[in-house]
Amino acid sequence: MALANENYLKVPQIYCFDEIEKKVNAYKLLHPKAEIIRLGAGDVTRPLPAEVIKAMHKAIDELGHENSFRGYSPPQGYDFLISKIQKEYKSLGISLAKETIFINDGAKSAIGNIGHVLGRDNIIAIAEPVYPVYENATIMSGRAGNIIDESKWSNIVYLACTPENNFIPELPEEKVDVIYICNPNNPTGTAMNRAELKKWVDYAIDHHSIIVYDGAYEAYIQQDEIPRSIYEIKGAKKVAIEVRTFSKTAEFTGLRCGYAVFPHELNVFTKFGESVPLVDLWSRRNSNYTNGVSYIVQRGAEAVFSAKGKQEVNEIINYYITNTQLVRNELIALGFEVFGQVNSPYIWFKVPDNMSSWKYFNELLFQKNIVGTPGILFGSKGEGYMRFTGFSSRENIPIRY
């Protein structure tokens, strides 16, 4: 009898955001003429930068000739791309060894797979509301412990982010071993500055904990006091993995490419207290569980770092940022209590009349033909809030609420 991994039964059958798509499709069937304004999905909508397309065309042609054909990528990714990433960090004053940079098929893979190299009994800290994959991956890998109440798990320490702390997670009173930080944060659009992030780095150093730092929205940072990388903080290489992606930066959500940094200085511990560099474990996992990302896509990602590529990417990001600002201004003018936006493509706002976020989702869809994301999808602390994104097209703005 083949047994199931029952941990997989502990998370919902339908990935939370697919639920929205289902409801919108049902609405469209009933109201085929409705012009729907999409401010819900966390997915980009602009076409790929021309430089990326050009580089990929060239790469395909190379694969069509015997003398330039390529098979498997090196397990960590091609040097041409790793060098560009290394240089990008250098421009922030951060020096990284090439063998600590791993090209992957996007941030979700790195976040979902990190559990492979961590012990079972870690206590995990997760901010709330936040990107749901941190918690789901923790549950599915059998690390969440027992369910306590209202879908809270015994081995997860939830860091409540509320208007009182400006949606910035505060240090826990108890000891935690693995800390997920999303900065700037999805869905609240808020971002920790260097001083706030330093508290977490210092905490992790003091407690021999590690930080999984999700920098998916690094390219949207506008304010100088917000760090572009956790490695800008002194000592962070000893405690932090940094996960980045071309998805929200360069329209790669469909192409798939990202990278993760595992500094040599970052150690985890055996039960006898011996330290092990985490990069050694990750490197084993990487070469045994994946054959990486296609040559074509890595060439496309490389083009993002060219002068022209950078310029095109900046234009796209500015387009999304302007969308986000316009929607935010509209909501403020309408009297909503609005958070976030400044360093991210997300606006987080309080649902009117103490409605539940799903009830408000329906009201928005049926009365205004606007699709948002109910805050509850990002954890119970998201109840009573709604997320709008700037990944819409400009024709949708003003949203005519």
Ligand X SMILES: *Cc1c(COP(=O)(O)O)cnc(C)c1O
Could you list the residues that contact ligand X (CB under 6 A)?
A: 42, 106-108, 131, 182, 186, 214, 216, 245, 247-248, 253, 258
Is the CB of 106 or the CB of 379 nearer to ligand X?
106
Q: At its nearest, how many Å lie between ligand X and the CB of residue 111?
A: 6
Is the CB of 76 or the CB of 185 nearer to ligand X?
185
Is the CB of 137 or the CB of 371 nearer to ligand X?
137
Q: What is the Cα–Cα distance from 244 to 103, expressed in whole angstroms? A: 10
Q: What is the DSSP letter of 74?
A: P
From the CA atom positions of the chain, what is the Rg in Å? 21
Q: At its nearest, how many Å lie between ligand X and the CB of residue 217?
A: 7
Q: What is the Cα–Cα distance from 108 to 243, expressed in whole angstroms? A: 9
Contacts of 170 (CB under 8 A, 6+ apart): 159
Q: At its nearest, how many Å lie between ligand X and the CB of residue 115?
A: 15
Is the CB of 186 or the CB of 373 nearer to ligand X?
186
Q: What is the DSSP letter of 299?
A: H
Q: At its nearest, how many Å lie between ligand X and the CB of residue 269?
A: 27
Task: Write out the DSSP string of 135-199.
Answer: HHHHHHTT-S--B-STT-BTTEEEEE--GGGTT-PPPPSS--SEEEEESSPTTT-----HHHHHH
- The dihedral over CA atoms of 80, 81, 86, 91, expressed in degrees to the nearest 10, equals 100
Residue carrying structure tokens 């150690």: 267
Is the CB of 245 or the CB of 294 nearer to ligand X?
245
Distances (CA, A) of 156 to 139, 178, 202: 9, 10, 20
Q: At its nearest, how many Å lie between ligand X and the CB of residue 334?
A: 26
Is the CB of 52 or the CB of 216 nearer to ligand X?
216
Q: At its nearest, how many Å lie between ligand X and the CB of residue 144?
A: 19
Q: At its nearest, how many Å lie between ligand X and the CB of residue 230?
A: 14
Q: What is the Cα–Cα distance from 309 to 300, expressed in whole angstroms? A: 10
Is the CB of 143 or the CB of 244 nearer to ligand X?
244
